[in-house]
Amino acid sequence: MKYVAIIRQVPDGESKIKVDGGRVNLEGATLILDQMDEYAVEQIIRLKEAHGGEAVVVAFGPERTEEAMRTALAMGANRGVLVTAEGYVDPVTQAGALAKVLAEEAPDAVFTGGQQADWDSQALGAAVAEALGWPSVTWTTAFELEDGHAKATHDLDEGAEVVRVALPAVFTTQQGLNEPRYPTLPGIMKAKKKEIKKIDAAELGVSGSKVEILEQTIMELERKGKIIDGTKEPAAAAAELIKLLHEEAKVL
Amino acid sequence: MILVVMDHDGNELRKGALEGVSRARKLAEALGGEVAGLVVGFGAEGVAEKAKDYVSKVYVVSGPDWETYTAEKWAKAAHAAAEAAGARVVVAPASRTGRSWTARLAVKMDAALLEDTLDSWAEGEKVYATKYSFLNRVLEKQAGSLPAVISVKPNTTPLAEPAGAGTVEPLAVELGELEKKVEVLEKIVETGGKVSLTEAEVVVTGGRGMGSAEAFQMIEEFADLLGGAVGATRAVIDAGWRPYAEQVGQTGKTVQPNVYFALAVSGAVQHQAGMNKSKVVVAVNKDPDAPIFKETDYGVVGDVHQVLPAMIEEVKKLKGA
Ligand SMILES: Cc1cc2nc3c(=O)[nH]c(=O)nc-3n(C[C@H](O)[C@H](O)[C@H](O)COP(=O)(O)OP(=O)(O)OC[C@H]3O[C@@H](n4cnc5c(N)ncnc54)[C@H](O)[C@@H]3O)c2cc1C
């Protein structure tokens, strides 16, 4: 059996991001393995541990993505394949290139995060599946293998659903699916020697992006920050709060 | 020609369908041609009779194969309708399901995908859109060439008014091998509150600091008084105190109400991603250093079990007055 996690490197949600000349500049931001992809990495390692076979991480991104791949390898994945491209490439174009890598790898199941913490896109998993002609299950919270099929629970807009899916298939992951492990020191040492194969995106037919980013601006709403101490007289603080909401903010 | 895929509940068109029509009309004005609609699935024939007041032609894909939703089927139906209509742009709601099948459709059409857009327009042979990125912290302007697939973020667009009577046309779409590979075994519908969370003007969210499922009775009472909806953090969902449908955040719902109450909520970035566009943010937390206070307009440092009951009394007085 073979299992693949498609991962990305993104800025930590808590790190400050800045904009220079209408573009987000990540210089100085802490870059991490996307937390939503951590569930994907954990899932392929667990499947390998339970059923044998290989856990492979695949990524599309700039050279620096290798750092996030090392994290996944330190968690326990066997090896990596990185499709390199600088600058923004939309998820549909990425999916076309990744599908070529996956067709060659021929895994039984593929996992990737439900939403990307940089582009806020939810498209990659479903687009990769479509490019391969495979089924997809989005926002997966439970996964079980069943002879050539998977039984999965996944979130919808108004609740959840249990599906049975023929493999190979692509699953997008989210919190609840598992508890991602931390890389251990021996894991980190071993990860340094694990193979990461690099392929230039151009070799897979990528010659640009179907979507262009024209301008980015930081949208932090100014907050008033009026804080009332309610530790000693909670009722009085509540009364003042409601008064402010009614008279000043005019929202009640 | 622009195709708009019109969401419905088997009976009525959803708001998202009418937001989509508004967007499609604006695109049709710039790109030329008319607006066609598609209704798929359970109850589609009945809904088509309502949908035809908004578009020049409604394609209907229905029958036993189409009773349950899967992304594979919806992408296939939309692709068939786009071809029948000769559509160069497909507009759809950016619901969770919408975003999963539109990704597949974009691959089928070899199209530019503009996802979760706040606004969209066309000029020449290009479509443009704005959207949020970086966990809702950045506003981004994008451009894509035609053909394009555009998903519409809920609550961003005025609802379309009816504009005459279009025609209804059944569209026969056969399931292929791919569409047969997913079988829906069970559907778990979590009925949320009385007011829909994503559409509510007031959202009252409780966090783990509420301490128990029972303590949410207070949250419900407060939300009811204000005609608002109840929200919850992931920690609360994981504890099993509230249904997942009420989760606000990166992996839950995105809300943008007039006023957002974060009660005993720490304010983790993943939570903020779902609420940081609220007009006024109110927080109650016993920890003055809780991150939520950095995102707060009006806050109280205190024990929610003492402050919230007093807030309820104050609102009752206000409403009585
Ligand atoms: C990939 C990923 C996605 C995620 N997606 C989401 C998401 O969509 N939504 C989401 O909410 N979270 C999400 N999370 C989880 C998030 O990181 C936090 O763990 C979660 O939001 C914490 O919930 P909380 O604030 O209720 O709980 P806690 O962090 O436990 O905070 C409880 C707060 O209550 C306060 N408190 C305690 N007792 C009282 C009292 N008596 N009176 C007043 N205040 C009190 C405490 O001071 C504290 O600030 C995600 C995490 C990851 C990794």
> ipTM of this model?
0.96
Length of chain B: 321
The distance from CA A110 to its chain's CA centroid, rounded to whole angstroms, is 13
Q: Quick one: CA dihedral B179, B182, B187, B188, positive or negative?
A: negative
The whole-number pLDDT of residue B60 equals: 98
B81 and B115 fall within a common domain:
yes
**B198: pLDDT confidence band, cut at 50, 70 and 90?**
confident
The whole-number pLDDT of residue A221 equals: 81
B72 and B134 fall within a common domain:
yes
A120 and A235 fall within a common domain:
no
CB A147 within 8 A of CB A51: no
Coil, strand or helix: which one is A87?
Answer: coil
Domain count, chain A: 2
Per-residue pLDDT, averaged over A199-224, amounts to: 95
pLDDT at B155 over 70: yes
Question: Do the chains contact at A234 and B114, CB–CB below 8 Å?
Answer: no
- What is the DSSP secondary-structure string of B112-145? EEEEEESEEEEETTEEEEEEEETTTTEEEEEEEE
CATH number for position B292: 3.40.50.1220
A58 and A181 fall within a common domain:
yes
Domain count, chain B: 2
d(CA B148, CA B125): 10
Tens digits of per-residue pLDDT, A121-134? 999 999 999 999 99
Examine the fold and report which residue of B150, B180, B210 is the final residue of a domain before the chain moves on.
B180
A200 and A243 fall within a common domain:
no
- How much of chain A exceeds pLDDT 90, in percent? 95
pLDDT at A220 over 80: no
Per-residue pLDDT, averaged over A81-105, amounts to: 98
Residue A213 belongs to a domain: no
Residue B13 belongs to a domain: yes
How many alpha carbons lie under 13 Å from residue B8 in its C-beta half-sphere?
A: 25
Residue B11 belongs to a domain: yes
Nearest to B2 by CA among B26, B39, B36, B38: B36
The whole-number pLDDT of residue B4 equals: 98
Q: Which residue of A172, A210, A217 is the best one to mutate when testing the B interface, meaning the one whose CB has the most B CBs within 10 A?
A: A210
Dihedral (Cα; B240, B245, B250, B254), 10-degree rounding: -140
Per-residue pLDDT, averaged over B17-41, amounts to: 97
Per-residue pLDDT, averaged over B36-55, amounts to: 98
**B252: pLDDT confidence band, cut at 50, 70 and 90?**
very high
Tens digits of per-residue pLDDT, A143-183? 999 989 999 999 998 889 999 999 999 999 999 999 999 99
CATH number for position B60: 3.40.50.620
**B199: pLDDT confidence band, cut at 50, 70 and 90?**
confident
Residue B126 CB neighbour total at 10 angstroms: 16
Per-residue pLDDT, averaged over A31-51, amounts to: 98
d(CA B105, CA B113): 9
Block residue for tokens 């996992």: A111
Question: Do the chains contact at B251 and A151, CB–CB below 8 Å?
Answer: no
Nearest to B96 by CA among A167, A230, A164, A139: A139
Domain of B90 in residue numbering reads as 2-180
Per-residue pLDDT, averaged over B192-218, amounts to: 92
The binding site of B consists of 208, 233-234, 247-251, 285
**Out of B183, B250, B306, closest to residue A163 by CB:** B183
pLDDT at B292 over 90: yes
B210 and B257 fall within a common domain:
yes
A84 and A114 fall within a common domain:
yes
CA distance A53 to chain B (A): 24
Question: Do the chains contact at B107 and A92, CB–CB below 8 Å?
Answer: yes
**Out of A35, A123, A245, closest to residue B259 by CB:** A245
A122 and A59 fall within a common domain:
yes
Residue B269 belongs to a domain: yes
B173 and B236 fall within a common domain:
no
B164 and B23 fall within a common domain:
yes
d(CA B311, CA B225): 11
Please report, for residues A75, A80, A204, B238, B252, the alpha-carbon distance to residue A63 in angstroms, rounded to integers and kept in the order given. 20, 13, 16, 37, 32
B165 and B231 fall within a common domain:
no
CB A251 within 8 A of CB B227: no
Choosing from B248, B250, B269 the residue with most ligand 1 atoms within 8 A of its CB, the one to mutate for a pocket test is B250
The whole-number pLDDT of residue B193 equals: 63
More confident site: B111 or A15: B111
Nearest to A149 by CA among A129, A130, A168, A172: A168
Structure tokens at A108: 């039984």
A232 and A133 fall within a common domain:
no
Residues of chain A contacting residue B238, judged by C-beta atoms under 8 Å apart? 176
The whole-number pLDDT of residue A158 equals: 83
Residue A60 CB neighbour total at 10 angstroms: 27
Per-residue pLDDT, averaged over A58-66, amounts to: 98
Residue A215 belongs to a domain: no
Tens digits of per-residue pLDDT, B54-88? 999 999 999 999 999 999 999 999 999 999 999 99
Coil, strand or helix: which one is B248?
Answer: strand
Question: Chain B contact for A142, CB < 8 A?
Answer: no
A162 and A227 fall within a common domain:
no
Domain of A232 in residue numbering reads as 222-251
Choosing from B266, B272, B276, B304 the residue with most ligand 1 atoms within 8 A of its CB, the one to mutate for a pocket test is B266
B94 and B215 fall within a common domain:
no
More confident site: A14 or B305: B305
pLDDT at A219 over 90: no
A227 and A193 fall within a common domain:
no
Q: Tell me the pLDDT of chain A averaged across its residues.
A: 97
Residue B197 belongs to a domain: no
Structure tokens at B273: 């991603």
Structure tokens at B202: 């007031």
Structure tokens at A181: 């492990």
Residue B59 belongs to a domain: yes
The whole-number pLDDT of residue B192 equals: 61
B209 and B172 fall within a common domain:
no
d(CA A8, CA A3): 17
The distance from CA A3 to its chain's CA centroid, rounded to whole angstroms, is 16
The whole-number pLDDT of residue B102 equals: 98
B174 and B217 fall within a common domain:
no
B119 and B242 fall within a common domain:
no
CB B255 within 8 A of CB A178: no
B168 and B69 fall within a common domain:
yes
One-letter amino acid at B75 equals A
Residues of chain A contacting residue B284, judged by C-beta atoms under 8 Å apart? 230
Structure tokens at A50: 């339970």
Structure tokens at B211: 């301490």
Residue B192 belongs to a domain: no
Tens digits of per-residue pLDDT, B208-229? 999 999 999 999 999 999 999 9
A186 and A88 fall within a common domain:
yes
A115 and A56 fall within a common domain:
yes
Residue B220 belongs to a domain: yes
B217 and B103 fall within a common domain:
no
Residue A211 belongs to a domain: no
